[in-house]
Structure 1
Amino acid sequence: MTPIRRAFADLSVGQVHYAACGDPAAPAVLLLHQSPRSWTEYRAVLPLLGARHRAIAMDTAGFGDSADGGVPASIEQWARVACELLDALEIAQATLVGHHTGGVVALELAAAFPDRVRGLVLSSTPYTDEAFRRARAARPPIDEVAPSEDGTHLAALWQKRQAFYPPGRPELLEAFVRDALKVGLRVEEGHRAVASYRMEARIGRVVQPALIVRATDDPFAAPHAVELQHQLPQARIVDIEGGMVPLPDQMPEAFARVVLDFLETLP
């Protein structure tokens, strides 16, 4: 199996961590994770993509092992840092794969730096218009829990996500909890950034070939697929049956197959 190599790049925010797999001369694929996860969301996907491509999964600025540079969190900032990583790795153009928050970052990167993006895969990605922002403002925090001296907040963090994860796969929830604990009090930053992003003002700039991946059992993402396709007429929708919130590490083979099939269609 193609080995995964991990490294840091010195960017404007400080050191940004990434994991890479595959031939550096092969076409590049940049994978962007959901909040508050890290590159490990794609640990099992990287070697599958790396067999044919240069697959890179980065830790978004402020998550995983990446510095945030003291800059306020925003989708625009994270897209700029992702583009800086492409610069540092001397990648002129990449296909973007984003899951949940990562899909929003991918869309902004494609809008802001169109010549750097060959195509994009939007997995379980919300459409963040005014209606989305109103609905999100009316809901409680997604992952935030109050710290406790007896550690019950750890169980509360687990329980907040449990209904959206497949039964019998505790390792997936463990991976989420590890990443969430690493960012600590910033655990909601990704969700807040998504909730404030004005996608309706940016999505019209996206002209690259696109694929919308719909995890059928993900209640946060599935309802947005049709609206995204309406806004991106060049995109098509592919369903992954039984997919839930942790889709890339829940079903890595199915996820990688969909991405590889899309990559084969790109000019």
Structure 2
Amino acid sequence: MNTIKHHTVTTTSGPVHVARCGQGQPLLLLHQTPRSWREYEHVLPLLGRGFDVIAMDTVGYGDTPPFADGDPSIARWAATALALMDALGFAAFGVVGHHTGAVIAMEMAAQAPTRVRALVLSSCPYVDAERRARHGQHAVVDGVTHRADGGHLLDLWRGRQAFYPEGDVALLERFVADALRADGRAAQGHLTVNRYRMEDRIGLVRCPTLLIGATADPHAYPAVPRLAQAMPHAQRVDIEGGMVPLPEQMPQQFADVVGGFLVGLPD
């Protein structure tokens, strides 16, 4: 049985908390915001059967503290993830990202094309000028005002409820717990994604790439065809019924798709 072990790793970008499981080729997992490594809690032992799997907490989420100046960017988050892999002694590795984590993973592959040997983008948004303009005109998901009566807890719950499996209280509770731990940064990750100039970076990705589409994710699934067009070398797999919390909702299916892609790559 694969045991999940926790470490705080000192990097040139500051301390980073990781959950680690298994042995084999290194594989970094990047969560959506405002989540934490726990998004992959059930995936880690599954992928750990064939890989040395590292699920990190993005800077400002989970047990990784925010940047001292409080100013994140996708490029900065990606550089921190690369610094983590430096600190762990890995020259080359695979990267899996979901939602925000997928955008960070893409930027890692753009920044370090000789190091990222394989890339899995799960429910990745397509961030271009049109999206940046559109999202600048309305409230962002998870952007709640903390209130003394605790009403913001219900706001967080209801804001996500339609995008989670009906009646799955446990998944929503896990989301709310991570969102509260973000200490006011619950919406910051979405705002950071919406500032990213993906159209300037996506063409720099050269490694083998898999696009995972969760068919019941109304935020990200419509972007899959545009990503596929922009990345003609990428493979694509859709997971029927997958929603916003895909890795937690369907951990076995997620792990099977990711593992099948990675095992099929040439050494």
Relative to the length of structure 2, the TM-score reads 0.97
* Contact 1:14/1:68 (<8 A) preserved: no
Matched residues in 2 for 1:62 and 1:12: separation?
Answer: 16
Aligned to 1:65: 63
The worse-fitting range, judged by mean Cα deviation, of 135-144 and 173-182 is 135-144
Per-residue CA deviations over 1:219-257 (Å, capped at 9, x if unaligned) read: 011100010011111112101000000000000000000
The worse-fitting range, judged by mean Cα deviation, of 64-73 and 249-258 is 64-73
Q: Describe how 1:1-267 pairs up with structure 2 within 5 A.
A: 1-23=1-23, 26-71=24-69, 72-267=71-266
| Structure 1 vs Structure 2 CA RMSD | 0.9
Counterpart secondary structure, 1:131? helix
* Contact 1:13/1:70 (<8 A) preserved: no
Amino acid across the alignment from 1:51 = R
Counterpart secondary structure, 1:48? helix
* Contact 2:216/2:241 (<8 A) preserved: yes
The worse-fitting range, judged by mean Cα deviation, of 81-90 and 179-188 is 179-188
The worse-fitting range, judged by mean Cα deviation, of 54-63 and 131-140 is 131-140
Counterpart secondary structure, 1:2? coil
Matched residues in 2 for 1:137 and 1:150: separation?
Answer: 29
Percentage of pairs with the same residue = 51
Instruction: Provide structure 1 residue ranges, at least 5 long, that are not aligned to the other structure.
Output: none
Per-residue CA deviations over 1:113-168 (Å, capped at 9, x if unaligned) read: 11110110000001101111111112212101111111111111101100000012
Relative to the length of structure 1, the TM-score reads 0.97
Give the CA deviation at 1:106: 0.2
Matched residues in 1 for 2:89 and 2:102: separation?
Answer: 23
Give the CA deviation at 1:4: 0.5
Equivalent residues, number: 265
Matched residues in 1 for 2:164 and 2:235: separation?
Answer: 26
* Contact 2:13/2:83 (<8 A) preserved: no
Give the CA deviation at 1:13: 3.6
Matched residues in 2 for 1:155 and 1:99: separation?
Answer: 25
Counterpart secondary structure, 1:37? coil
The structure carrying a bigger helix percent of its residues is: 1
